[in-house]
Amino acid sequence: MLKALLCKLNIQHDWHLEHAEDGSLYKRCQRCGKDDDRGGGGTGAGGAWAGPAGMG
């Protein structure tokens, strides 16, 4: 399946909205089960991308 390959290579996922236990919403890929770990933050935070600088 080509689409499975998209998941495997982390190119594109088939996000579906799910309810978390605390009532919040999150996205999960219904093909591979991956949670969307990119959501949550606002958009356009200055320098939001994780650079090579040591985190933590």
Residue ranges binding Zn ion (CB under 5 A): 7, 13, 29, 31-32, 34
Q: 17 or 45: whose CB is closer to Zn ion?
A: 17
What is the CA angle 39-44-49, rounded to 5?
Answer: 70
Contact 26, 34 (CB under 8 A): no
Containing 6, the helix (H) or strand (E) segment is: helix 2-8
Smallest gap from Cβ 38 to Zn ion, in A, equals: 13
| Nearer CB in complex with Zn ion: 5/48 | 5
- Closest distance between Zn ion and the C-beta of residue 32, in Å? 3
